[in-house]
Structure formats: C-alpha cells, structure tokens
Structure 1
Amino acid sequence: MSRGPTLFELEDSATETPATAAQPPEDGPPTGAAMRATLSLGRRRMTWLGRLGWGAALALLGMALSIAAWDFVTGLIARNPSLGWVAGGLLALVGVACLGVALREWMGFRRLARLDDLRQQADRARNDGNRNTALRLMARLSALYANRPEMRWHRDRLAELAPDQPDAEGLLHLSETTLLVPLDQAARAEVEAAARQVALLTAMLPMALVDVVAALAINLRMIRRIAEIYGGRAGALGSIRLLRGVVAHLLATGAVAVGEDMLGSVASGGVVSKLSRRFGEGLVNGALTARLGIAAMSICRPLPFVAAQKPRTSNIVSRAISGLFDRG
C-alpha cells in the first residue's frame, strides 16, 4: 500500500540580518587608564615598617657590594699589584661618583625646600601686611634668579618699580607679575608639550604596561623641568618626591577626576565620542597630564597664584590638541 506525500510544517523563523542582529556591547567611555595608574604610583605611601625593611635591605646590599669589591681589589693586588692598583683607582672613582650623585640629590632637596620657604614667607607677608617682610621676600626671590641671564631685565625692572609700592600687597603683586609671569609661560609650554606627548603615545602604543611606563617617564620629566624653570632643579629622588606632592595636591583639591563633560568643552562638543577608543584614551590621559602639570606649577612656584591667573586645564588641553593636529 503506497503512502501519499507527507507535509512537515516548520515554525516560522525570521532570517537574521545585520539590521536586526543584536548590537555588540559598547565599550565604556575613555577613562585614562595609563595616567590613573601613574597617579596611583605617586599616591602610594609606604608604611614605617616598609621603610624600615627596605632601608635595611638596601643597607645590607650596599654592605655586601662594598665588601665584595674590597675583597676583589685586595685579592687582585696580592696576585698582580699593577692590575690591583688600577682596580683600586676605578673603585675610588665609583665611590666619588656615588658621593657626587648623593650631593646632587641633597642640593636638589635644599632647592625644593627653599621654594617651600618662599611660599610660606609670602603667606606671612600677605597675612601680616608687613612691608619689610615683603621686601626681604622680594630680595630673596630676585637672588633666586640672579644667575639666569634671561631674567636680568625682569630683575632690574622689579628693583626699579619696588620703591613706588607703599605696602606689602603691592610688593607681592609686583614681584609676581614681574618675575613669575614669564616663568609661568615657560612652565605652561612644558605642560602643553607633555600633554601632547602623553596623548599621542598612549593613543598609539597598544600594550597597557608600555603606555603606563611612557606616561610615568613623561610626567616625571615634565615635573623636573617645571621645578627647574622656577629654580628647583630636582634630581631623581626629588622628582619622585615632587610627584607625590603633586598627587597629594590633586587629591586635596579634588582635581583628579576627568570626565567627558570637561573633554566635551575642550574638544568642541563631545568629539571624544566620535573618535576611536584608543584616541579617546590618549585624550583623557593628556587631560590628566595637564592637570598634573598645573598642580606641579602650584607646588614649584615660589609665590602662589594671586596676581596672575592660574592656567586652566581646558585651555592647555585645547592648545596641546591643536598643536598635535598642526604637526600632523
């Protein structure tokens, strides 16, 4: 007996098209991971137990290296006096170089402490209204830049106009506008260059650890250059100390967070959302670098921003971005 055709009814299934397919999950807004990692490095404070442990470890390592070098030189003198004395001379040169580095770091710390002392003296003169205190501060500030030829005209101008100022506030205002405004322009140029470099490198480097190292190196160099502009000249350890002080200043003023709202005003209305994520990350990292640089200017400046206007992050970032596109 033959069977007729059998009909199988299939359920209706809509054909999936690119228009009806589910959208892939979107990444969140750029957060500036590289600069936030850099700020976290400067934010960390070692406990007294950690300082004690690391200090003992470094002292033990230095002792072991010194004893090993001494045994090597004395043993070489016993075997071959000529080579031994050559090795002894080289060891002495290494010791002199280490002492020179230590002396340079100590001098750097002294220069940074002098800037702090000038800021404190300026606060006392402004609060007390003592003209003699302001005159002494003006003399110290002028002597700070005595060995810089580009500041000679400004120092002479300050000495010429100072007798016309009747009170401490006028002397402080004159000192700031005459001596520090040109230095502010140079420091601002350093901040703009660093923000541009961080934005470009973190946008182009694909590896997370590499862009963190690059951002840290650029920011340390920026802080060291700002300190040199204002008369600080920080060494390696001094730069790390300055980085910690700058991060502490950012935390105290609540200026660490950078969001899309600030970048929207910088980049003409939300252009970050139209860029690739890597370029957006670079832009946020550049903005964080600008804020770090402004904080470094506040920390390294011998006088606080009173008469002169403090730089704005949005202006620095916009100039850095325009310089980036102009060079491209």
Structure 2
Amino acid sequence: MSLKGKVILDKPLAAPAAEPLRAQQTLAEDDFIELDDAPEPGLAAGLRPRRRHRLWWSGVALLLALLVVHSAITLWQTWQDSRLLGAAWSLALGLLALAALGSLWRELRLLRRLERVSRQRAWAEQLLVEQGSGRARAFCEQLAHQSGLDRSDAYQRWLHSLDEQEQDAEVLTLYSRQVLSVPDRQARARVLKWSGEAAVMVAASPLAAVDMLLVLWRNLRMIEDITGCYGIRLGALSRLRLLRSVLHNMLYAGVSEAAIDMGMDLLGLELAGRLSARAGQGVGAGLLTARLGLQTMDLCRPVPWQGDEKKQLGGIRRALIDKVARLMTKSE
C-alpha cells in the first residue's frame, strides 16, 4: 500500500459569489422563482376561528326549553289543585307570553330596518360604480320617503335640479350633497355636543374610572341620538348590532385614514397636555366619543360619502381643545 502525496487543486472548491444588487437594477423574469404548487383553497377556511357562540346559544335555547316544560308541568298541577288559581296563572302567563312575543316582533322589525340600510348602501355603491341611468331617481325617492326627508325643502330643490340625461352616479351625488346634508349637519352637531360633554366631564372630575363608565353610557345615548337624525329607530338587538358594526369598522379602518387621524389625535392631545394632565385625558375621551359618533354616521348613511363630504375630526378636535381650555382657565 503506497501513500500518495498532497494533492493541490488548481481552483478552490467554493461556490461563486452572488452578484451584488446595484441601484436602479432591473430584474428579468428569470430572476424570480416560480411556485410549483398553489395554496390549498381549504387551508384558509380551516384556519378561520370557529364560531364558539353557537355552543352558547345552544345552551340558552336548552335552558329556555326546560323553563317552558317546567312551567307547563307546574301549571298543570295548579289546575289539578284549584281551577280558579290555575285560571289566574294561565291568564298571567298568557299575557306575559303575548308581551314577550310583541317585544320580540318589534325587535326583529327594527333589526330588519337596520339591515335594510346596509342593503341600500350596498345598492348605492353599485349604482355609483356602474355607468347606468334611470334607476337612481326612484331609489333616492324611496330613501327620502322612508326617512321622512321627502317633506323637506332640500328634497324639493333636488327634484327641480334633476335632468333626464343625468347618470345614476350624478343623481346619487346630488342627493347626497343636497338632501342628506340636512341630517348630516344635525348628526355632526350631536357628535360635537356629546363629545364636548364627555371631554368636559373627564377633565373636570377627579374620578376617572366613574367618569369613563358614564362616558360609555352616554356614548350609547349618542348612538341612538345620531340614528334618529337619519330616521332610524333602534331596539335592543339593533342597538347591539349597530354597536358591533361601529366597533368593528373602527378597529379595521383604512390604514392611511387611521394613520392620519392618529397623528392628528396625538397633536390634539399634545396641545391639550400643555394645559394639564386632566385636560389631556378629557380631550382623549372626547376624541374617542367623536370617532364613535362619526363612524355611526357613516353606517347610518344610506349613500356613501362623496368626495370631500366626509369630514374628519379636524373641526371637532379644535372645538374640544378650545372647550377644555376655557374650562381649565375658569377653574384656575
């Protein structure tokens, strides 16, 4: 067995270095890697959270069924013991059942009216996108009749300003700017009123926890006040549905809009913070109330905002800071 000497290779066994990227370098199609397999369509559906509230509603339904069965058995035993007492209990339970059914029917009717606003808004968005004509006028007349705006002077001016040659998008834009501007002004005044009161309440009181509970209760009152400006009545179910939609839209708002509003809110808090810490807390609570009110206006409006119609928190923010500043100046 013979040992060989050291073998020296002419070229090093090293991988060639990748070409560094240069400024303004243009990449060709060969520079990209194509994926062989597309993601499975059922994968995204499998990653969605399950609806756990179904189990909760099933438990509630079972509990109600047990209560009904127990009440029926108790009523039957009462009839066996005393007919007069059984008749009295039957009358009381019958009246209670009729009242419950009436309340349930009213809640479902108000909930359907709120859902109708969402369908009308979706139809208005479709009319604004399509290049059609002849359908928007009847749609706007129906909206005005349902909300009670057909008796206003703005609605009459809108009717006289219409032309048969106008497109559906133009008709909806005119209706939004001429007719819906009336409830918009009323709702914006409500938002300024409730947000200003919330800011003053938090800024003037030392009990912040109690004040925040009061602000939460007053925000629910503000939502009902704003919906009344657009001719919408709320029940318990419809109020919960609207509140959930408002909070959902506030959490998942557009990134650019949220960034702009957040920057302006921080500016407002900084200006208010120069007065005192309580003033900054008051302006923060007022801005949150104002944002909640503006989002409620957005959902209650049957026609989307057009152009620069959607006013941000600029005017309300400045009014809140001025109101809190006057309050802190008087207290000092």
Counterpart in 2 of 1:183? 183
In structure 2, C-alpha distance between the alignment counterparts of 1:270 and 1:256, rounded to whole Å: 20
Deviations 1:164-219 (A, max 9, x none): 662323311221122210100111122122212332444426263x4443333222
- Do the aligned partners of residues 171 and 81 (structure 1) sit closer, same or farther apart at CA in structure 2, a change above 3 Å counting? same
1:260 and 1:298 map into 2 onto residues whose CA distance is: 18
Q: State how far apart, in whole Å, the 2-side matches of 1:113 and 1:80 are.
A: 49
1:303 is aligned with what amino acid? V
Task: Return the structure number with greater relative CO, CA threshold 8 A, min gap 6.
Answer: 1
Report deviation, 1:248.
2.3
CA separation of 1:270 and 1:279: change in aligned 2, threshold 3 A: closer
Corresponding residue number in structure 1 for 2:170: 170
Q: What's the % identity of the aligned pairs?
A: 27
**Structure ID, larger Rg:** 2
- What are structure 1's unaligned runs of at least 5 residues? 1-45
Code of the residue aligned with 2:248 in structure 1: it is A
Aligned 1:9-28 pairs, distance under 5 A: none
Q: Which one-letter code corresponds to 2:99 in the other structure?
A: A
Equivalent pair of 2:147/2:231 in contact (CA under 8 Å):
yes
Q: Where do 1:200-215 residues align within 5 Å? A: 200-203=200-203, 204=205, 206=207, 208=209, 210-215=210-215
Q: Which runs of structure 2 are paired with 1:1-150 in the superposition (5 Å)?
A: 48-146=50-148
Instruction: Return the offset for 1:307.
Output: 5.5
Q: Which residue of 2 aligns with 1:246?
A: 246
Partner amino acid for 1:114?
R
Please give the TM-score of this superposition, normalised by the length of structure 1.
0.72
Q: SS in structure 2 opposite 1:252?
A: coil
| Alignment partners' CA distance in 1, 2:84 and 2:98 | 21
Deviations 1:135-182 (A, max 9, x none): 232222222224x68x43333333332246623233112211222101
**Once the 2 structures are TM-superposed, how far is the Cα of residue 83 of structure 1 from its aligned partner?**
3.3
| Letter matched to residue 75 of structure 1 | Q
Query: Residue 270 of structure 1 corresponds to which residue in structure 2?
Result: 271
Q: Residue 101 of structure 1: CA displacement?
A: 2.2
Q: Which amino acid aligns with 2:253?
A: A
Counting matched residue pairs gives 278
The alignment status of 1:159 with 2:162, answered yes or no, reads no
My pick for the range that moved more, 108-117 or 283-292, is 108-117
CA–CA separation in structure 2 for the residues paired with 1:260 and 1:167: 37
Contact kept, 8 Å, 1:266 with 1:314, in 2: the verdict is: no
Does the CA-based 8 Å contact 1:258-1:284 persist in structure 2?
no
CA RMSD of aligned residues (A): 3.1
